[in-house]
Amino acid sequence: MHGRNEARLTLTLGHLYPDQLNLYGDRGNILTLKRRCELRGIELRVVGLGIGDALAPDEYDLLFIGGGQDKEQAPVAQDLFETKGIGLWAAIEDDMPVLAVCGGYQLLAHYYRPAEGPDMKGLGVFDAWTVHKGPRTPRCIGDVVISWNGMTVVGFENHGGRTYLGTARPLGKVLKGHGNNAEDGTEGAVYRNAYGTYLHGSLLPKNPHFADYLIGLALQRKYGLRRLTSLSMPPGEILNGSTPAQLTPVDDPT
Ligand code: GLN
């Protein structure tokens, strides 16, 4: 069991397709995770995983995949399926926290059917599928607010595809905006610790409580520490760095 006074906590984040999937400042998600780890004395190493790179699940503690346009999504979809699929599935079944935004979210469900061209096969992590109903159907664009775990999460969405959930649990309920499909009031999907969402903006700089939640899941999984107790702390207080979160070992034998 790792105690509070042992070596510095370190987490490794795998950033999938940073060159292809990087819309609307998705990289801000990585910067926020890094900063919020830093404020607590946790080192976050970031490793980019591009097309052709294998994903060895044991080497990571967190994974992020961002959004992209249809033309960027197609080669990614193929690589995800052929090169990273088995590793990603293994990581998710082993409760690794994963954040997938927009195009990345679509590719973690069963398929994305674009307005033109063949279907892009997804990994089927989320029991959900996405259909772009053609150029005459308006895109889902604008600010979004959802309720999540009794809190709100805000973001910006811009997607042509409409996602429909099968048995997948939604991430939240739409309070404002379109969410998965502008029809059923659901937003995003959750499977184990994998979170899919349409919220760009970027998501995590605007929602530090969600960033902390993901970091907490990673620490819990790697070190057996409980989630960060700072979840309800006002963001300003944490950003000053003056009030580091308390980390409590789950089963401290001492
Ligand atoms: N190409 C997808 C769509 O328009 C994803 C867009 C995105 O990632 N913002 O539905």
Where does the pLDDT of residue 161 fall: very low under 50, low under 70, confident under 90, or very high at 90 and above? very high
> Would you give the DSSP letter of residue 80?
I
CA distances from 38 to 47, 106, 139, 208 (A): 17, 31, 38, 13
| pLDDT tens, position by position, 202-230 | 999 999 999 999 999 999 999 987 655 44
- Cα angle value 132/84/29 (rounded, 5°): 70
pLDDT at 247 over 80: no
ipTM of the complex: 0.94
How confident is the model at residue 226, as a pLDDT?
62
Q: What is the mean pLDDT of the chain?
A: 88
Instruction: Using alpha carbons, select from 185, 218, 236, 220 the residue that is nearest to residue 11.
Output: 218
Output the ligand 1 site: residues, CB below 6 A. Answer: 23, 67-70, 73, 102-103, 132, 158-161
Cα–Cα distance, 173 to 124 (Å, whole number): 22
Which long-range contacts does 46-49 make (Cβ < 8 Å, 24+ apart)? 46/12, 46/13, 46/15, 47/12, 47/13, 47/14, 47/15, 48/15, 48/18, 48/19, 49/14, 49/15, 49/16, 49/17, 49/84
Cα–Cα distance, 197 to 191 (Å, whole number): 12
> Would you give the DSSP letter of residue 3?
-
pTM of the entire structure? 0.89
**Distance of alpha carbon 46 from the chain centroid:** 15
**CA dihedral (157, 159, 162, 163) positive or negative:** negative
User: Which residues on adjacent β-strands are paired with residue 194?
Assistant: 98, 191
| pLDDT tens, position by position, 53-110 | 999 999 999 999 999 999 999 999 999 999 999 999 999 999 999 999 999 999 999 9
Residue list, annotated binding site for substrate: 139
Q: Which helix H or strand E contains 27, and what residues bound it?
A: helix 27-38
Cα–Cα distance, 43 to 183 (Å, whole number): 42
Which ligand 1 atom is nearest residue 105's CA? 8
Instruction: Using alpha carbons, select from 198, 153, 141, 173 the residue that is nearest to residue 26.
Output: 198
SS3 190: strand
**104 C-alpha vs ligand 1 centroid, how far in Å?**
9
Q: Which residues are catalytic?
A: 102, 200
Which ligand 1 atom is nearest residue 66's CA? 8
Instruction: Using alpha carbons, select from 169, 176, 171 the residue that is nearest to residue 197.
Output: 171
